Chain A
Amino acid sequence: MRTWTWRAGAIATALACTVVAGCGQKPGVGQLYAGPGLGVGTGTGAVGENGLPLGEGVPGAPGSTDSTGSTGPTGSTGSSGDSGTGSSPGSPGTNGPGQPGANTPTGAGPNDKQGITKDTISIGVHAPVTGAAAFPAEGFKRGVGLYADFINSKGGINGRRLIVHFEDDAFNPGTARAKCQMLNEQKKVFLLVGGGGSDQIDVCARYAAAKGVPYIAATTHEVSSDGMKLNSLPTFYALSPTYEQQLPLLANVVRGTGAKKLAVLVAENGNLNNTFNQAKNILGKAANIVLSARVQKKVSSGEANGWAAKICNSGAEVVFWNASPAGLAEVTKSMTCRPKFVGVGNTIGLNLVATTSCPQLEGAQVLSSWPGLNSIDSMDPDYRRQYNKKHSPNQPDDIGMAMWGLEKAISQAFAATGKDIGRHKLMTTLNGGKVINNGIFPSSKFSAGDRFGSSKMHLLRAKCTPTGRYETDKLNVG
């Protein structure tokens, strides 16, 4: 009897583990919300069915003309309003994402000036330092606040010092959301910045929209797993085109290689479903697709062996890789063939990836928001000077350059908004078509209906000798 009890217990445990293995993968963006649809554009204070985070109202989200959060058609009362960002109601979001009306601000809420004092302005940055992306923590630590120090030494932005808070989101959407919430509610930042990772940017952008906090990222996907377009989030801004918008540019790169056989490998991530389909469609016109598959979010060395064999067996001459940078390093290490890798987005264009994936990555071409480090002195000589001044003898790196560019772009937006800055006024300024040209990212220009501010990217090429790194191939490819 006792044996059977033990056996039943063990079997129940194993069964539970099996279910967890199959279904309980790392929570995706959708799982972090209470329902299937996003409440943006569905009125305010939407909870549960509308898919907003439980217990949170939608302050001045599109679809609301009330900056303090009124009751929406299917939700409960919002708790606070930061800034009015919608002018017309969206559709009720019981079965999917509500799309906002026009993303035009209508009024400022009580938290409109959160993070701003007479002398300072605080922003919060989240990025993956640990997890499957594993960016160098020290690189981020040295990069974050570098431009802030520089601009502060010159009197700040309209007389205010820029303060930057940084949090590691561990390449995990659940952690990212918690960190963004903490930055907003405890650190009381004025604005949130996404450093990288599509899931993490997606979940924080939604949180920011729900709270009326301006959110700025470099680039990310266009359509989320639940069908919502990031473009529809009222407080979201990306300095570079979406992955999907970059694909036609990349198709030209593929054509330029003269390759006939192409492999399309995209992370098994709901937020990249549209990217995967678009990649097959657009890149498929540049070369014949001989392998198209979804790659695990976190590729183990065992799985990497399998992918390496599949790539080599397919005979692909070019591989489009849009999955974790650590996974790319794992796969390249197991390959017996040498196809050329191409990619969009910023993470696989980091020097760290070239260092760990060379020599197999030689010649890889990647579209990136920032140039190779070899071009920075002609584009913005202040970066190297400031880096050396603050961090010598450490050498400037591309992560620091990316953070410098982001902070510089945000500072330019703040400066353009004027001394009487608030969230509402900042977003009005951005939506008004103010051009942001920081000399590192391709110039950006937003509107109420277009939150991906640029149509251009820089093209980088991997060089493996003497050490792995990316260098600028072409600037402002568009």
Chain B
Amino acid sequence: MFTELGIAVINGIFDGCIYAFVALGIVLVYRASGVFNFAQAEFGTTGLFMAFVAVKLWGWNYGLGLAFGLLCAIAMGLLTERLVIHPLRDASRITLLVGTAGVTLGAIGLQFWLNNDTPILEMPKIIDGTVAAPFGASITYQKLIALVVLIAVAVALAAFFRSPSGLALQAAQQEPTAAELVGISVRRVSMMTWGIAAALGGLAGILAGPNTTFTAGFLSFGGAQALLPGFMAAVLAGMRSMPGALVGGLVVGVVSQLGNLSLFSGIPGPSAMLMFVLLLGVLLVRPDGVFLRKASA
């Protein structure tokens, strides 16, 4: 049992890194525009597919391929903002949500269409090999890199939100009219928000993809399935707290891994059930999220 618990915690933390990337993007967009961004995970899958195309099909240098994938994810985020969010800016939140879901389904359709011949794809790892295997849980260099990148991103985001650009972003999110009056372009800030969110999604994709094989819809409904856990982590964060999204991602990762304990064998879908029980508990006790102070909620 102790060994199983150790495996669950270790695997959960590394899975949680990917959920945290997705959750950070979801929270960022929600704070900026009040949109539940269902396309967040697909930014990642698209980035992964494009990195794969660059590295495996076009034979690009690995680093260049990853950068290309990340840029494609950012481009997708910006296009989503320009072509879907901006034209629908006066529509209801439900309409915007449906719009982002449409982006997801469109992206998955394209991925299927372009990869009919080889539906299961494989992206090489940044560094192959295993660092350690405590309790038998494999900690690969790839997973460790994802954790390090997450920490670096968290530090960078914290610094960014203290910079003039970050403050402008927060100002535009909280008081768009007042921000316009003091010379902040809300439109540009919106673009920046979606660009950063897409970059976070792209990082999730290109870092998670090499851990395993991937298919169309990899991060949304495929092997990585990070969209729903990402949303749960965002709810834990009250949809507003960036540090909360990060910690929430790790917590959701560990909780979902607890479903692999033999204690739950025989129960269908234990991981999903545990995650929903966690969500239910949070909504009962702290409906505004665990990581927000009540006053700020």
Contact = CB atoms under 8 A, between A and B. Distances in A.
A301 B224 contact: yes
B178 interface: no
A309 B135 contact: yes
A329 interface: yes
Contacts of A17: 276, 279
- Top 6 closest pairs, chain A to chain B, by CB: A306-B260, A21-B272, A313-B136, A18-B276, A137-B116, A305-B11
B211 A22 contact: no
Interface string B123-140: 000000010010111100
Interface stretch (B24-32, B35-43, B147-155, B280-288): B280-288
Contact of A330 (B213, B253, B267): B213
B257 interface: yes
A438 B173 CA distance: 69
Interface in A286-344: 293-294, 296, 299-310, 312-313, 326, 329-330, 333-336
B268 interface: yes
Contacts of B262: 293
B11 A356 contact: no
A178 interface: no
Interface in B99-114: 112
Interface string B9-26: 001101100000000000
B265 A15 contact: no
A130 B112 contact: yes
Residue among B8, B136, B271 facing the most chain A CB atoms (10 A cut-off): B136
B135 A302 contact: no
Contacts, number: 142
B7 interface: yes
A185 interface: no
B145 interface: no
30 contacts: A10-B283, A14-B276, A14-B279, A18-B273, A18-B277, A22-B269, A130-B112, A134-B120, A136-B119, A138-B117, A293-B265, A294-B266, A300-B271, A301-B208, A301-B223, A301-B224, A302-B12, A302-B224, A305-B14, A305-B15, A309-B7, A309-B138, A312-B136, A326-B215, A330-B212, A330-B213, A333-B213, A334-B211, A334-B212, A336-B133
A300 B283 contact: no
Contact of A301 (B12, B118, B136, B211): B211
B271 A303 contact: yes
A268 B270 CA distance: 12
A182 interface: no
B225 interface: yes
A135 interface: yes
Given A301-B223, A302-B271, A309-B11, 13 more contacts: A11-B284, A21-B275, A129-B119, A130-B112, A137-B117, A139-B117, A299-B223, A302-B11, A304-B212, A329-B213, A333-B213, A336-B130, A352-B120
A136 to B, nearest CB: 6
Interface string B242-272: 0000000000010011011010011111011
B146 to A, nearest CB: 12
Contacts of A310: 7, 136, 260
Contacts of B211: 301, 333-334
B130 to A, nearest CB: 6
Nearest to A293: B265
Chain A interface size band reads 35 or more
B268 A25 contact: yes
Given A301-B208, A302-B225, A302-B257, A326 B136 contact: no
Contacts of B122: 356
Contact of B273 (A21, A307, A356): A21
Contacts of B112: 130, 137
A23 B276 CA distance: 13
Chain B interface size band reads 35 or more
A333 B136 contact: no
Interface string A347-361: 000001001100000
Contacts of B266: 294
Contacts of B12: 302
A229 interface: no
A300 B224 contact: yes
A450 to B, nearest CB: 34
A137 B253 contact: no
Contacts of B95: none
A474 B42 CA distance: 44
Nearest to A299: B223
B136 A309 contact: yes
A11 B225 contact: no
A7 interface: yes
A399 to B, nearest CB: 11
B165 interface: no
A336 B135 CA distance: 12
Residue among B11, B119, B137 facing the most chain A CB atoms (10 A cut-off): B119
B265 A313 contact: no
Nearest to B256: A302
Interface in A270-300: 293-294, 296, 299-300
B3 interface: yes
A300 B225 contact: yes
B283 A7 contact: yes
A97 to B, nearest CB: 22
Contacts of A313: 3, 7, 135-136
A139 B260 CA distance: 35
Given A22-B269, A303-B271, A330-B212, A135 B119 contact: yes
A385 B142 CA distance: 44
A355 B279 CA distance: 39
B109 to A, nearest CB: 11
A307 B279 CA distance: 25
B116 A7 contact: no
A334 B253 contact: no
A304 B257 CA distance: 10
Contacts of B265: 293-294
